[in-house]
Amino acid sequence: MLDIQASLCGSPAQMERALRLQPHGPPFDVWLFDDAALALFGKGLRIRLREAKGGAELTLKVADRDCAKLPAASLPAGEGKCEYDLHGTKVAGALSLTRKLDARTAAELVAGRAPLASALSAAQTGFLQSVPGAWPLPPQVRALGPTRVRSYSSDGKTYTVDVSELPGGERFIEISRKVPLAEAQRSREQFDADLAKAGVAVCADQSAQAVNKLRALVQRP
C-alpha cells in the first residue's frame, strides 16, 4: 500500500470548512521519544507512544526501507508492517513495528520511571540492534509531549486529516490517503487536484514539518 501525505498550512477551522471534515473518534495523546540532539530521528528512527483503549501502543517506525527486500522474520504477524509513504515528491518504504502496552507501563515510560528499552518488544529491539549506532539507545532519550491529536474524515472517508497540538500551542495538520501502490501516479494527481479545488494551502516546505515538531517538543522541560 501507499500512504499519500501532505502537510497543510492554515487553521484547523479553515480545513474543517474547506474539506468538510467530520471528527473521527475522540482525541488522543501521543508521545515521541528522542534526546535533545534528536539522535534517533537523525538515523531515520521514530519511536512513538500512542494512547489507545485500555493502554497504549508503542511503535518503532524505520524510514527509507525497501519493503520488497525485508526478510519475513522482521515483520512478525500482528506486530509488523511495511508500506510506502509519498510525502511531497518522494516515495519511500517505511517499516513499522508495534506492541501494545498496559496503561501502567505506558505511564511509567512517560514519567521517566522506566527505561524505554525495557518496554520494547523482541522484534523492535532486534531491529534497533541492526541499525549502526542505534543500540543501546542514547542515554538521554525521554518522552516528548504529550501531543494532542484529533482525527477527522472527509466526505466519503476518502481522506484522513490529523490535527496535532503541542504543549506549547503549536499546531501541525496532515492529510493522508491510502491507495494501492500501482495507483500512485493517478491517485497523487487526484489528491493534488482535490486540495487545489478546496482552496487548501499545502505547506511550502514539506520536509521540515516532522523535524519542526520534534524541535518544538524537545525545548519543553
pLDDT digits (tens, 9 = 90+) for 146-197: 999 999 998 766 899 999 999 999 999 999 999 998 998 899 999 999 999 9
Q: What percent of the chain has pLDDT over 90?
A: 78
Could you give all domains of the chain from N- to C-terminal order, each with its CATH number?
A: 2-218 (2.40.320.10)
The model's confidence at residue 207, banded by pLDDT at 50, 70 and 90, is confident
User: Has residue 90 got a pLDDT over 80?
Assistant: no
Nearest CA among 147, 195, 171, 173 for reference residue 51: 147
Tens digits of per-residue pLDDT, 105-159?
999 999 999 999 999 999 999 999 999 999 999 999 999 999 999 999 987 668 9
What span, in angstroms and rounded, lies between the C-alpha atoms of 208 and 7? 10
* Average pLDDT in the chain: 92
What span, in angstroms and rounded, lies between the C-alpha atoms of 124 and 131? 11
Tens digits of per-residue pLDDT, 65-86?
999 888 877 788 888 899 999 8
What span, in angstroms and rounded, lies between the C-alpha atoms of 124 and 44? 14
**Amino acid 218: pLDDT:** 95
Q: What's the pTM value of the predicted model, to 2 decimals?
A: 0.93
Residue 33, all three cell numbers: 521519544
What's the burial of 23, exposed, middle or buried (CB within 10 Å: 0-12/13-18/19+)?
A: exposed
